[in-house]
Structure 1
Amino acid sequence: MNVIQTAIAGVVVVETRTHADPRGAFTRLYCARSLADIIGPRTILQINHSRTALAGAVRGMHFQHPPHAEMKLVRCVKGRVWDVVVDLRAGSPTFLKWHAQGLDMESARMLVIPEGCAHGFQALEADSELIYLHTAFYTPSSEAGLRHDDPKLGIRWPREAVELSPRDRSHPLLPADYAGIQV
């Protein structure tokens, strides 16, 4: 596994190799030994799968507040997505900056999203599927989100956003004095 740092501390792209032959292909999705420097003492506690039916649909921008903040490892296993991370960590030099990464099965890339960052994506192909590995359990009382189109963030989505959930549409815009979250 090859780890590529991004401009946001803790947000990394992990490249893996797909081994293909006439029978098909094999890709290692996760290896605790290879990712030990990134994962540290954390444990993967939950694995989720999402399927997004419509190209252009946006899911996010989601995160959990401490003490249930989570690291996420996200991989596209079908289709193609534009995956986005926003740094919400109070005092971070990249506070409110975002990083976007194209993910698809062929590239075999995984995006690591640390605690204190919001995550969302736009499906670039119909029926795109993601696998998420989480270091904390889903805790509804700690969940929160940002508007995907918040002008304070200025995220450049590759397509017009369609098919937002009522929850994602209802996230408030960030207030002018937003100071971030402590992780």
Structure 2
Amino acid sequence: MRQLSLAGAWVHEPKVFPDSRGSFHEWFRAAELENALGHPLRLAQANFSVSSRGTLRGVHFADVPPSQAKYVKCVRGAVLDVIVDLRVGSPTYKRWEAVRLDDVDHRSVYLAEGLGHAFMALTDDASVAYLCSEGYAPEREHGVHPLDPGLGIVWPSDIPPLLSDKDAAAPSLAEAEQKGLLPTYEACQEYYALLRARG
């Protein structure tokens, strides 16, 4: 696991073993992730999405606690996966980092509770699998508009974005902060400490 520039965000870059039959790689190792985080990933739900080229999902996040940590992999095609620090008070608040996930290099990303998540499908039928620490709870789920200039995420300029009605109606980062929707860095740190204590 390699830590990204945002605390709580990691990328797994597996060794891929190709042969005449195809290839093999390990896309998730619980012990490796636990060593990086200091606590195990509680697996409560697994999601799978298929997206046409240009589909832009996110930026999604959930109330802390318990929020929802995610381990994300693209199993077919390619996506530009973006992790955003939405934790008010964080040293990297408003910063984002992008990682290409595809079916060639087979990278996966992990994002801790309180971080925002989005991706754009770079190919048709881009298929993404998510391992989640908590189940979906609509009353705790929120979003920030992925095209908000206040975030300044650089999406591919040659692909027109296709958003759901819900994501298109999401507030800007400034509006979400003003409404008190965003998690605080302090609350996230307290929750991470609780997860480590539980072991």
Give TM-score, length-normalised by structure 2: 0.85
The match for 2:47 is 48
Deviation at 1:176, TM superposition (A): 6.5
Classify 1:23/1:161 alpha carbon distance in 2 versus 1 (closer, same or farther; 3 Å).
Answer: same
The match for 1:34 is 32
The match for 2:97 is 99
CA distance in 1, matches of 2:46, 2:26: 15
CA distance in 1, matches of 2:94, 2:87: 8
| SS class of match (2:155) | coil
CA distance in 2, matches of 1:42, 1:170: 32
Classify 1:24/1:177 alpha carbon distance in 2 versus 1 (closer, same or farther; 3 Å).
Answer: closer
Q: 1:52-91 counterparts in 2 under 5 A?
A: 52-53=51-52, 55-91=53-89
Q: Say what the alpha-carbon RMSD is for the aligned residues.
A: 1.6
The match for 2:172 is 173
Classify 1:162/1:101 alpha carbon distance in 2 versus 1 (closer, same or farther; 3 Å).
Answer: same
Q: Counterpart of 2:23 in structure 1: which amino acid?
A: A
Unaligned segments of structure 1, at least 5 residues: none
Q: Runs of 4 or more off by more than 4 Å in structure 1? A: none
User: Which segment is superposed worse, 118-127 or 34-43?
Assistant: 34-43
Deviation at 1:117, TM superposition (A): 0.8
The yes-or-no answer on 1:122 pairing with 2:120 is: yes
The match for 1:111 is 109
CA distance in 2, matches of 1:171, 1:177: 9
The match for 1:135 is 133
| SS class of match (1:33) | helix
CA distance in 2, matches of 1:74, 1:83: 9
User: Which segment is superposed worse, 44-53 or 169-178?
Assistant: 169-178
| SS class of match (2:31) | coil
Classify 1:38/1:139 alpha carbon distance in 2 versus 1 (closer, same or farther; 3 Å).
Answer: farther
Deviation at 1:4, TM superposition (A): 1.6
Give TM-score, length-normalised by structure 1: 0.92
List per-residue Cα deviations over 1:85-121 (Å, max 9, x = no partner): 1101122100010001111011111111111111010
The match for 1:20 is 18
The match for 2:162 is 163
Deviation at 1:174, TM superposition (A): 2.5
CA distance in 2, matches of 1:141, 1:110: 28
The yes-or-no answer on 1:144 pairing with 2:146 is: no
Q: Counterpart of 1:181 in structure 2: which amino acid?
A: P
More strand by share: 1
CA distance in 1, matches of 2:57, 2:175: 24
